[in-house]
Structure 1
């Protein structure tokens, strides 16, 4: 049976201004971040797949502390962003009756204090060619 499961959390950031110092901070922390400029929208963006940890809540809590450690120049670029989002990804199965994942109220409050929104992306298993069921492992 195919199982619904948590995959990762992506940090997505958008701004009308470039954020090179933020990208440098990512790289120094050995976190992948690709800076992209979209000519159609005149926006800069970063989408970074974070180390997933053992749950989305644990991942978000870990990276909230990381974001709080930004030096002033990086924090300034962070402040210019008009979108800051933690996007949780799941492989979802139609054969699973239900699936529950908890993001604690403390985590949500910390996210709100940093201007972070929360998104959930669902990837249907039956549309994934490379899906490997690791539930039994």
Structure 2
């Protein structure tokens, strides 16, 4: 595999990872749980809110990219839901700190990045094929 192809494949993998993480954040954005106490833990037996994730993309020496997935900070925000069985005395629960507008933008960027890297991979394949046809 040429270096152009390996760089494009690393971009495809990064775009895929971004889409997976964003889809998970969107799918779980309403998964509330008990508010953590002052020590950062939730009461025993109470559900924990989904903790959204974020992708960090870094360049690899020699070309390409790699990703790492980490929890977002702050992971949750307090929201009012007095009907929840795990709500605190003020009627608040912890909700994932997910911004749907930002997730949509992130998904669009991942889609365009994937498309661009796929076009690069196809162009590299076509150039290699032309080179091999010319030498035959």
With normalisation by structure 1, the TM-score equals 0.24
Q: Which has the higher helix share?
A: 2
With normalisation by structure 2, the TM-score equals 0.24
Larger Rg: 2
